[in-house]
Amino acid sequence: MSELVPIPQPRGLPLIGNLGEFTTSPMADLVRLADIYGPIYRVQLGSKSIILVGSNALINEICNEKRFHKSLKTVLGIVREGVHDGLFTAYDDEPNWGKAHRILTPAFGPLSIRGMFGDMHDIATQMCMKFARHGPHNPIHVAEDFTRLALDTLALCAMDFRFNSYYREDMHPFVAAMGGFLTECGNRQRRPAFAPNFLFRAANDQFAADIATMKQTADEVVDSRKKNPSDRKDLLSAMLSGVDPQTGEKLSDENITNQLITFLIAGHETTSGMLSFTFYLLLKHPAEYQKVQEEVDRVLGRDAITVDHLNKFPYIAAVLRESLRLRSTIGAFSVEANDDTVLGGKYLIRKGDVVSALLCKAHLDPVVYGEDANEFKPERMTDDNFARLNEEFPNCWKPFGNGKRGCIGRPFAWQEAILAMAMLFQNFNFTMHDPNYQLQIKETLTLKPDNFEMRASLRHGMTATELEQTLAGKAPTQDQTSIKKPKAEAKAQLNTGKPLSVYYGSNSGTCEALAQRLATDAPTHGFNATTIGPLDEAKQNLSQDHPVIIVTASYEGQPPSNAAHFVNWMESLKGNEMDKVSYAVFGCGHRDWTQTFHRIPKLVDSTLEKLGGDRIVPMGTADAASSDMFSDFETWEDETLWPALKEKYGTGDTSDVTGVQALTVEVTTPRKATLRQDVEEALVVSTKTLTSSGPPKKHIEIQLPTGMPYKAGDYLAILPMNPQATVARVFRRFQLTWDAALKIHSNRPTTLPINTPVSARDVLGAYVELSQPATKRNILALAEATDDKSIVQELEKLAGDDYQDNIVSKRVSVLELLEKYPSIAFPISSYLAMLPPMRVRQ
């Protein structure tokens, strides 16, 4: 044996030792110290001394259960004050640990876990339905919603108890009490032993109150089972009636309470953290995200998931392992030496010394994981590679702890996580709510991403109701080839014509509306927009056999939130990946953002070309500051895009070049309001005009709907209504009765409500922009509708060279022209077809 050397230690202060090194993020502090002091170091926390090890070689030694056993001399000793001899915080040699371990382990056997599939699916369905019903623009607070999933799943599967967290705005009081309890445990760990107790009276009272709340929840669970006896073979019945095969004893009532709280704590914080980090990592790594989705589509298609599917997701398993490696939700576990021993051949450890396995550091050990250990690479964790790693470097991956004190709930967490991921990826596309989000970590004994929000949009053009049926296994099974078709495509199937994909990057709806306009116009030019969707849907999915048109905006130089994934992915490519892609880009921007004017459309346009793409026409642009964007877009469409497409693909025009024959409209009388999606009603509490002259500036107070968060710096978008007076003018012009309803039929994709009678007031008030300046195409359509030569001449003049001065500057709408020329017999169907859809304003 080589000579013993002292264990490095940061210089400390008398009495408090190294407490000064610690902030409210102790795990980050420990990693920082490991970077300074190396794979083994000691910290003195008041009177307690802890040795930290952060390399695989040293952790491998402390995982030897002949030399070390689980320690409670760390923060777990404080947690024990709340949950006593529950499994997690019981001493190794405490009889109650062995008894509970033997009684409860069978409840986590493979068959029992398999039997929990139905209940796990039930809660995961609630989560999916919440995401679907809140719509694609709603920010999902990731850690909170996965906490709901994990808490409710555990309680339902293990105890047949429903917290119903997805049906309440706030979290169940147990969650707050548990959070407070664990945080206070951490604070006490960092509190010097000599600090007088009276200084912490409020914290101490809260600590006691939190423990009482957790106990009360556990009692509720037990009472509920006692009132509704059941023959379920779950964890709770094992606790209540299981008999220890070794001693013939049952668990005491007190111990059952401790176990229940333990399971509720241990079983949900961790799983929720694992899923939250996994989504963060996947959203930051588009290629890996894509592989997960491909695996899910390959295995499930559109079929409802069953228990037999669960072992068919090796890539998801690899992703979860890699996520737990990089971001273990329990950052360290602790053992103590059975006898004096030597670590690493040179560090003396005394009997009873506490040694903590610093997973946050050891999981990045380059000896095991190579120089790219800090990177997210699920491939290194596929079944074969994982087995090889563990064989070559025993104990190199320890997120579930060690040996007999390792996690009893591991198979439970695994099945729950795989099920949730498969269901989510099968049915949703996810994007970061804030594409610029940088990972922040919240520490409460476990680790979780803080303030991390994402958005979920339904795939395959599904509605929430269709999702509900799909998840219940009621939807007709479709073949695998239909997987990527959004609903717009199904509608567009009515048309013949060459296929065309249209994608938009849009936050407030302008580019989306323009994309919609393009799709509506396509049949007129011999094309059929088979795909219309957010740009992120085009990631790794750009068509190679038909043209792709992209309409996108920029926000502070960044992509709109439904395009960030696409842009990330595109920028990560290096070769000739687009050599079979033909594309055209139209960019919307605002010149006030001088440095980043049209940055994203330009970036998309030039990058696709660099990657070998075939640019069909030069990029078109519109500036929200100066002109009417619809008019600019239509001009680009009519004068640049369609002629080039027609030449390249050999298509011809139909007779309806202005597109006004696209709709047929039946006017009926019953009134029926149609709910709009994706907007929530808020209450304007007060408005005040702050200016006495010049353009009015207003102070407006808005009461947001419950559950809709707002923090300083967030944008507020408003979906306006047309003024009633303007709507009334349309009623007069088209001689609609006050209660007229419109039943709209369309042979093209449209944003109007179709095939159902909707009040004309709603359609005209809420679905279309009535006051936009008439586009050149609109004016020519009016001219086509009249035989009066003088009117035709006047209209052609308006659409001619002076169009900008006569129409755009004066903001002359189609309605005004129709009023000016009452003799033009223009049907309401043609009028609606030419109006742009209503857009939100920021």
Ligand X SMILES: Cc1cc2nc3c(=O)[nH]c(=O)nc-3n(C[C@H](O)[C@H](O)[C@H](O)COP(=O)(O)O)c2cc1C
Site for ligand HEM in 363-402 (CB under 6 A): 399-401
Token pair belonging to 742:
């419109």
Closer residue to ligand X in complex, CB, 591/820: 591
Build a one-symbol-per-residue string for 453-492: x at contacts with ligand X by CB under 6 A, - elsewhere: ----------------------------------------
Regarding 174 and contact with ligand HEM (CB under 6 A), the answer is: no
Position of minimal CB gap to ligand HEM = 409
Q: Per rule CB under 6 A, is residue 263 in the interface with ligand HEM?
A: yes
Residue 813 DSSP code:
B
* Residue 830 interacting with ligand X (CB under 6 A): no
Instruction: Please return the burial class of 679, using the count of CB atoms within 10 Å of its CB with bins 0-12, 13-18 and 19+.
Output: middle
Task: Identify which range of 122-130, 210-218, 503-511, 738-746 contacts ligand X by CB under 6 A.
Answer: 503-511
Q: Please calculate the CA angle 755-674-756 and round it to the nearest 5 degrees.
A: 15
Q: Is 598 in the site for ligand X (CB under 6 A)?
A: yes
Among 483, 487, 494, 482, smallest CA distance to 464 is for 487
Q: Which is nearer to ligand HEM, 266 or 835 (CB)?
A: 266
Q: Compute the least distance from the CB of residue 245 to ligand HEM, in Å.
A: 17
Phi and psi for 27 in degrees, rounded to 5? Answer: -65, -40
Q: Which residues contact 702 (CB under 8 A, 6 or more apart)?
A: 682, 683, 684, 685, 716
Query: Which of ligand HEM, ligand X, none does residue 553 bind (CB under 5 to 8 Å by kind)?
Result: ligand X
C-beta of residue 473 within 8 angstroms of C-beta of residue 442: no
Q: Closer to ligand HEM at the Cβ: 165 or 524?
A: 165
Site string for ligand X, 541-560 (x = CB under 6 A): ------------xxxxx--x
- Contact call for residue 345 and ligand X (CB under 6 A): no
- Asked if 381 contacts 375 with a C-beta cutoff of 8 angstroms, the reply is no
Rounded alpha-carbon distances, angstroms, from residue 499 to 4, 184, 489: 75, 61, 10
Token pair, residue 65, equals 């259960």
Return the bridge partners of 102, or none.
none
Token digits of residue 548: 């792709």
# residues near ligand HEM by CB under 6 A = 25
- Selection from ligand HEM, ligand X, none that 405 binds (CB < 5 to 8 A by kind) is ligand HEM
Residue from 44, 55, 258, 270 binding ligand HEM (CB under 6 A): 270
Cα–Cα distances in Å, from 257 out to 236, 248, 552, 731?
11, 20, 57, 69
Give dist(CA 210, CA 203) in Å, integer: 10
**CA torsion angle 434 435 436 440 (round to 10):** 60
How many residues does this entry show for the chain?
A: 842
- Selection from ligand HEM, ligand X, none that 399 binds (CB < 5 to 8 A by kind) is ligand HEM
By the rule CB under 6 A, 82 interacts with ligand X = no
Closer CB to ligand HEM, residue 77 or residue 461?
77
Q: What DSSP letter does each residue of 110-131 carry, written as one string?
A: HHHHHHTHHHHHHHHHHHHHHH
Residue 292's binding partner among ligand HEM, ligand X, none (Cβ under 5 to 8 angstroms by kind) is none
DSSP 741-798: EEEEEESS--SS--SSEEEHHHIIIIIB-SSSBPPHHHHHHHHHT---HHHHHHHHHH
Q: Which stretch binds ligand X (CB under 6 A): 118-126, 295-303, 516-524, 595-603?
A: 595-603
Report the residue number, 425 or 597, with the smaller CB distance to ligand X.
597
Return the number of the residue (336 or 637) whose C-beta is nearest ligand HEM.
Answer: 336
Partner whose footprint covers residue 70, from ligand X, ligand HEM, none (CB < 5 to 8 Å by kind): ligand HEM
| Stretch in the footprint of ligand X (CB under 6 A) among 85-93, 159-167, 360-368, 590-598 | 590-598
* Residue 282 near ligand HEM by CB under 6 A: no
Q: Give whichever of 88 and 767 is closer to ligand X, judged by the CB atom.
A: 767
| 257 in contact with ligand HEM (CB under 6 A) | no
Under rule CB under 6 A, residue 590 binds ligand X: yes
Nearer to ligand X, 409 or 620 (CB): 620
Handedness of CA 534, 540, 541, 545 (dihedral sign): positive
Which partner, ligand HEM, ligand X, none, binds residue 154 by CB below 5 to 8 Å per kind? ligand HEM
Closest approach of ligand HEM to the CB of residue 417, in Å: 7
Per-residue interface string for the shown chain with ligand HEM, residues 147-166, x marking contact by CB under 6 A: -------x------------
* Catalytic residue set: 270, 400, 407
Q: Which is nearer to ligand HEM, 262 or 772 (CB)?
A: 262
- Asked if 589 interacts with ligand X (CB under 6 A), we say yes
Q: What share of the chain is helix, strand, coil (3-state, %, to 5)?
A: 45, 15, 40
Instruction: Check residue 39 and report its DSSP letter.
Output: S
Residue 396 assigned ligand-binding role: no
Q: Which of residues 398-427 bind ligand HEM (CB under 6 A)?
A: 399-401, 405-409, 412-413
> Smallest gap, in angstroms, from Cβ of residue 593 to ligand X?
3
Q: Distance between CA atoms of 529 and 534, rounded to whole angstroms?
A: 14
Strand locations in 657-720 (E) = 663-668, 683-689, 698-703
Could you say which DSSP state residue 675 is in?
A: P
41, 88, 369, 633: which one contacts ligand HEM (CB under 6 A)?
A: 88
Q: How far is the CB of 431 from ligand HEM (least distance, A)?
A: 25
Q: Give one word for 339, left, alpha or beta, with left for phi > 0 and alpha for psi -120 to 50.
A: beta
Please select the residue that binds ligand HEM; options are 75, 87, 741, 838, rule is CB under 6 A.
Answer: 87
Give min distance, CB of 137 to ligand X, in A. 11
Buried b (16+ CB within 10 A) or exposed e, 230-261: eeeebbbbbbeebebeeeeebbeeebbbbbbb
Taking the complex as a whole, the smallest distance from the CB of residue 149 to ligand HEM amounts, in Å, to 11
- Interaction mask 56-85, ligand HEM, x per CB under 6 A: --------------x---------------
Regarding 836 and contact with ligand HEM (CB under 6 A), the answer is no
| Span of 169-177, 442-450, 570-578, 583-591 interacting with ligand X by CB under 6 A | 583-591
Nearest CB to ligand X, comparing residues 490 and 840: 840
Q: Which of 829, 491, 838 is nearest to 660 (CA)?
A: 829
- Give the span between the Cα atoms of 173 and 179, in whole angstroms: 10
Q: Shortest CA distance to 535 belongs to which of 590, 472, 442, 605?
A: 605
Q: Which residues contact 385 (CB under 8 A, 6 or more apart)?
A: 379
Q: What DSSP character marks residue 344?
A: T
Known binding positions for heme: 407
Annotated binding site: which residue ranges? 407
Per CB under 6 A, residues contacting ligand X are: 506-512, 553-557, 560, 588-590, 593, 596-599, 624, 842
Point out which residues bind ligand HEM (CB under 6 A): 70, 87-88, 101, 154, 262-263, 266-267, 270-271, 274, 329-330, 333, 399-401, 405-409, 412-413
